[in-house]
C-alpha cells in the first residue's frame, strides 16, 4: 500500500504537492500580496497628506520668520539674520501679504528660475496632491516650488514662500521607506495569523479528508480507512460525516459485489456440471419417449420438457455469468428480410397454429450489430410464441421516429403476470411462462449497448407488445 493508516483512520496522501504549490503556501503568498495591495492603496493618500503637512509646516516657519521681520526696527534686519531666518524655513524666499499693508519679503537675493503654478494650501484636491507627490518622489518635479497658504495666526494674512524640491523629495523617500517597512511587517504578521488560522480551520481538515479518500481507495476492505468524523458543525464537519456514510455504503457494496462474484463463479461451475448431468438424462428421456408402454409415453413428454428447460436454464446461466458482451460492430441491415430470417429460424413459416405478420417496410434499414440484433429479436419472438401455445397472432412492425428506428413485437397471448411485470428485466426474477428472465435482461443490455432502449408497451389478456428503439442512420 502507498498510504499508511493513521490512528484516526485516515492515511497520508502518497503524492503531496510541493511546498510552493501547496494550498497553505498559496494562501500565505496571496495574503501577503493582498495586504501589500491594501497598503499601497493606503500609501498614496498618506504620501499626499505627508507632502501637504510638510508644506504647512514650512508655512508656519515662514510665518514665524515674518514675525521676526516685523519686530525689527523699520522692518529691516541684517543680511546674516535674514539668511538665518531663511535657513530655518528651508526656503529661498518668504513673503507675507496683508490687505492693509505692503508685502514683507525675505530673500537670499539669488536669481530664481521661472516658477510654475503655485500650490495653494487653502484649496487643494486630493487627486492633484497624489499626482504632485508622485511626481516629486520620482524626481521629475521642478527644482523649486512656490507655496501659498494662510498664516496660522491670522487667516486674512497670506504667506508665500519658495522651496527647493530636493529636501521635499528626500523627506518623501524617508516617509515611503518607513511606510513600506511598516506595511511589510503588518503583512507578514497578518499573513502569519491568517495562515495559521486557515491551516487549523481548513487545510488540516482537508488534508485529513484527502488522506481518508486516498487510504480508502488503496484498501477499501480495511475498515480502519473509514474516516472518523470530528465534532465540527460547519461544512467540513458535514463533509466528514457524509464521506463516512459514503465509505461505509461503498465498502458494503464492494463486499457484497465480491461475494456475488464468488457466488456467480460457483453457480457457473454448478450449472456446467449440472448441464452435463442433464444431457445424460435427456438421452434417457428420449429413449423413454420411444417406449411402447402407454403410461411411459404419457409421462415422457413432460419429462422431456422439464429436462429441456433445465438444460436451457443452465446454458443461459453460463452465458450470463461470462464476461460482459463485446462492443457492438454496427452494419447496415435491411430490417424486413432480417426479421423474416429470425422468424424462419423459429419455425414460424412451418407452424400452422401461429399466424405470422411481417409489417416492416421493405426499404427500412438501420445500423446495428447483426448478431446482437438477432439475439434480441429471437428472444422477444420466442417468448411471444411460448405465450401463445397452440395458436395466435405474432406481428412485427417498424417505423422511423425522431431519428430512431422503432421496432414492435406484438402477440395475442395471455399477457404477463404482475410478478413478471414488476421484475421484468431482472435476471432470474422477471421471466414469463416459467422462464428465468435472463433472456430479457441480456436483450436489454444488448439494446442499450447500441444506445437504444427495450421497453414493455402493453400487456394483458389481449396480448403483449415489446418495443425496441435503436438509433437510425445518420
What pLDDT does residue 279 have?
Answer: 67
- Secondary-structure percent of the chain, ordered helix, strand, coil, rounded to 5: 55, 15, 25
Contacts with 205 (C-beta within 8 Å, 6 or more apart), sequence order? 230, 232, 236, 240
| Res 28 pLDDT > 70 | yes
Reported pTM:
0.44
Q: Structural domain boundaries of the chain?
A: 21-186, 253-321, 331-471
For 430-467, b where at least 16 C-beta lie within 10 A, e where not — what string?
bbbeebbbbbbbbbbbbbeebebebeeeebeeebbbbb
- What's the rounded mean pLDDT across residues 26-35? 77
What pLDDT does residue 193 have?
Answer: 83
Look up residue 101 and give its three cell numbers. 499693508
What pLDDT does residue 10 have?
Answer: 42
CB-CB contact of 336 with 396 (8 Å) = no
The values of phi and psi at residue 240, to 5°, are -65, -45
Instruction: Please tell me which residue, 102 or 128, carries the higher pLDDT value.
Output: 128
Helix-helix angle 23-71:79-89, to 10 degrees: 160
Which CATH number is 331-471's, of 3.30.1280.10, 3.40.50.9100, 3.40.50.720, 3.30.565.10?
3.30.565.10
- What's the rounded mean pLDDT across residues 379-392? 87
Classify domain 253-321 by CATH architecture: Orthogonal Bundle (1.10)
Look up residue 388 and give its three cell numbers. 401463445
Instruction: Please tell me which residue, 236 or 464, carries the higher pLDDT value.
Output: 464
Q: What is the pLDDT of residues 409-436, one digit of tens each?
A: 999 988 888 888 887 887 765 555 555 5
| Res 460 pLDDT > 80 | yes
The values of phi and psi at residue 65, to 5°, are -65, -35
| Res 1 pLDDT > 50 | no
Predicted confidence band at 281 (pLDDT cuts at 50, 70, 90)? low
Q: What is the pLDDT of residues 327-375, one digit of tens each?
A: 889 999 999 999 999 998 888 866 567 899 999 999 999 999 999 999 9
Task: Say how far apart CA 206 and CA 208 lie, in whole Å.
Answer: 5
Task: Say how far apart CA 274 and CA 193 lie, in whole Å.
Answer: 73
Predicted confidence band at 113 (pLDDT cuts at 50, 70, 90)? low
What pLDDT does residue 289 have?
Answer: 65
Which of 450, 447, 451, 438 is closest to 468 using CA atoms? 447
Amino acid at each position: 500500500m502507498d498510504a499508511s493508516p493513521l490512528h484516526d483512520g485516515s492515511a497520508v496522501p502518497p503524492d503531496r504537492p510541493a511546498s510552493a504549490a501547496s494550498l497553505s503556501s498559496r494562501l500565505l503568498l496571496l495574503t501577503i500580496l493582498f495586504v501589500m495591495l491594501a497598503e499601497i492603496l493606503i500609501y498614496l493618500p498618506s504620501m499626499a497628506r505627508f507632502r501637504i503637512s510638510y508644506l504647512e509646516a514650512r508655512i508656519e516657519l515662514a510665518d514665524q520668520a515674518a514675525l521676526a521681520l516685523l519686530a525689527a526696527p523699520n522692518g529691516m534686519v541684517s543680511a546674516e539674520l535674514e539668511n538665518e531666518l531663511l535657513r530655518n524655513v528651508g526656503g529661498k524666499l518668504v513673503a507675507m501679504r496683508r490687505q492693509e499693508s505692503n508685502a514683507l519679503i525675505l530673500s537670499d537675493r539669488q536669481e530664481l528660475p521661472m516658477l510654475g503654478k503655485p500650490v495653494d494650501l487653502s484649496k487643494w484636491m486630493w487627486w492633484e496632491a497624489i499626482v504632485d507627490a508622485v511626481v516629486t518622489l520620482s524626481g521629475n518635479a521642478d527644482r523649486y516650488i512656490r507655496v501659498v497658504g494662510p498664516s496660522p495666526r491670522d487667516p486674512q494674512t497670506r504667506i508665500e514662500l519658495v522651496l527647493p524640491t530636493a529636501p521635499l523629495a528626500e523627506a518623501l523617500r524617508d516617509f515611503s521607506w518607513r511606510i513600506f517597512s511598516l506595511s511589510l511587517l503588518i503583512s507578514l504578521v497578518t499573513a502569519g495569523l491568517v495562515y495559521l488560522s486557515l491551516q487549523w480551520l481548513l487545510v488540516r481538515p482537508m488534508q485529513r479528508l484527502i488522506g481518508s479518500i486516498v487510504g480508502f481507495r488503496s484498501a477499501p476492505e480495511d475498515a480502519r480507512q473509514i474516516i472518523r468524523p470530528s465534532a465540527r458543525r460547519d461544512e467540513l464537519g458535514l463533509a466528514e460525516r457524509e464521506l463516512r456514510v459514503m465509505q461505509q455504503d461503498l465498502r458494503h457494496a464492494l463486499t457484497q459485489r465480491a461475494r456475488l462474484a464468488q457466488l456467480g463463479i460457483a453457480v457457473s461451475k454448478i450449472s456446467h456440471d449440472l448441464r452435463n448431468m442433464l444431457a445424460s438424462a435427456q438421452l434417457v428421456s428420449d429413449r423413454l419417449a420411444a417406449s411402447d408402454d402407454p403410461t411411459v409415453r404419457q409421462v415422457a413428454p413432460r419429462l422431456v420438457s422439464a429436462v429441456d428447460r433445465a438444460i436451457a436454464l443452465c446454458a443461459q446461466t453460463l452465458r450470463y455469468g461470462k464476461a460482459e458482451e463485446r462492443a457492438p460492430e454496427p452494419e447496415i441491415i435491411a430490417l424486413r428480410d432480417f426479421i423474416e430470417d429470425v422468424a424462419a429460424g423459429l419455425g414460424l413459416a412451418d407452424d400452422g397454429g401461429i399466424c405470422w405478420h411481417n409489417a416492416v417496410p421493405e426499404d427500412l434499414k438501420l445500423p446495428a450489430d447483426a448478431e446482437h440484433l438477432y439475439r434480441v429479436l429471437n428472444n422477444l419472438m420466442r417468448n411471444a410464441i411460448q405465450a401463445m401455445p397452440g395458436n395466435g397472432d405474432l406481428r412485427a412492425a417498424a417505423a422511423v421516429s425522431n431519428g430512431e428506428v422503432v421496432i414492435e413485437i406484438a402477440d395475442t397471448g395471455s399477457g404477463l403476470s404482475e410478478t413478471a411485470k414488476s421484475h421484468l428485466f431482472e435476471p432470474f426474477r422477471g421471466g414469463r411462462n416459467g422462464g428465468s428472465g435472463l433472456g430479457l435482461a441480456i436483450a436489454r443490455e444488448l439494446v442499450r449497448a447500441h444506445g437504444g432502449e427495450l421497453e414493455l408497451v402493453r400487456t394483458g389478456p389481449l396480448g403483449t407488445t415489446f418495443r425496441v428503439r435503436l438509433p437510425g442512420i445518420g
